[in-house]
Amino acid sequence: MEQRVVMITGANSGIGKDAALKFAMEGFTVVMGCRDLEYSRQVQEEIIAKSHHDRVTLMEVDLSSFESIRCFCEKFKGAFDRLDILIHNAAYFKHGAEHKLSPDNIEITFATNVFGPFLMTSLLLDVLRKSNDARILHAGSNIIKEFFDPKKEIEFDKLQGEIEDKKSYSVYKMYCQSKMALLMLTFKMAEEFKDDGIKVNALQINGAKMSKRTLKNIKHGWREIAYVQNLFFPEPSYMASKYFAICTSDDFKETTGKLFNDKLEVMQPAPAEYPGFVKNMKQVLGRDVYSSYAENKQVMEKVWNLSEELTESYRILKDKEPVG
């Protein structure tokens, strides 16, 4: 039987690494999309050794750079003529870091977590269409619970170029908004790609132990919080097994445009939003509902249109042309 091909971004650590190992153990052809080749090569070797499976390929990609993504997709299509599973796992969450722009002049969190994955999906659409059961998975976060506060919104005026008020800039805020934007793209992509048979879903991650490498990158203050959280969070392999289930189980073969919780239940939009998130602990602590902001069609269109515009993917998505 021909091996199914899975591509996982940020597969050198945490959940992405454990997912790469899981897929390799199960006999999939695994492509690790990583930016730090030197470090990631050791991880690739570790996965090959543990899984006794040598079809684990490492390919360079920096999700914050459109040029790097274009280059990666070209190389990917030179090596593989089909893609069955695409997992957008990589994310920027350097809490406490200063305002930074991507090489394309986009706020770094949104460049890495939203527009980069959007461009990659667009450029890989032609190879995804060749699969008889193509599935895309976005790594979501329970941080979007902040959107239960009706005042919360995506600040579109902070996404490009320098911002005036750098002091009020917060990676935490941008990360929260980026995960909401990614969820909106999940819903919209599911609609757009329905006719192609490509399923698009998201998993809401409540927490997973962070690696030493990741903790090192988080600023003092935030790092201590993460250390404490690590005491309570499950191992990354737990979430990796959820990635695997959503992307391979026959139970979800026809499921698209959904947000899953870690029990693999489909979450629902909240029937009503509450002012401030202390007021309704059921919503904030629960794992059943997400803020109805995620289904705001106007904002969703805005996220989609901006993604198309910034990544210049309009032609690719509309014309269904294979792109080199």
State which of positions 248-277 bind ligand NAP (CB under 6 A): none
Q: Which is nearer to ligand NAP, 93 or 244 (CB)?
A: 93
Q: What is the dihedral of CA 59, 241, 287, 297, to 10 degrees?
A: 40
Binding mask 217-236 for ligand NAP (x = CB under 6 A): ----------------x--x
Q: Which is nearer to ligand NAP, 265 or 301 (CB)?
A: 265
Q: Which is nearer to ligand NAP, 172 or 197 (CB)?
A: 172
Tokens of 280: 């309704």
Which residue type occupies 251?
Answer: D
Indicate which single residue of 150, 207, 257, 286 sits in contact with ligand NAP (rule: CB under 6 A).
207
90 binds ligand NAP, rule: CB under 6 A? yes
Between CA 239 and CA 264 the distance in angstroms is 10
Tokens of 127: 């190879």
Q: How many residues bind ligand NAP (CB under 6 A)?
A: 30
Alpha helices in 129-192 (DSSP H): 171-192
Q: What is the CA radius of gyration of the chain?
A: 19
- Where residue 232 falls (left for φ over 0; alpha for ψ -120 to 50; beta otherwise) is alpha
State how beta strands 85-88 and 5-9 pair: parallel
At 214, is the secondary structure helix, strand, or coil?
A: helix
210 binds ligand NAP, rule: CB under 6 A? yes
Tokens of 2: 């021909």
State which of positions 186-205 bind ligand NAP (CB under 6 A): 205
Indicate which single residue of 3, 36, 54, 75 sits in contact with ligand NAP (rule: CB under 6 A).
36
Which residues of this protein are in contact with ligand NAP, per CB under 6 A? Answer: 9-10, 12-16, 34-36, 61-64, 89-93, 112, 139, 141, 205, 207-208, 210-211, 214, 233, 236
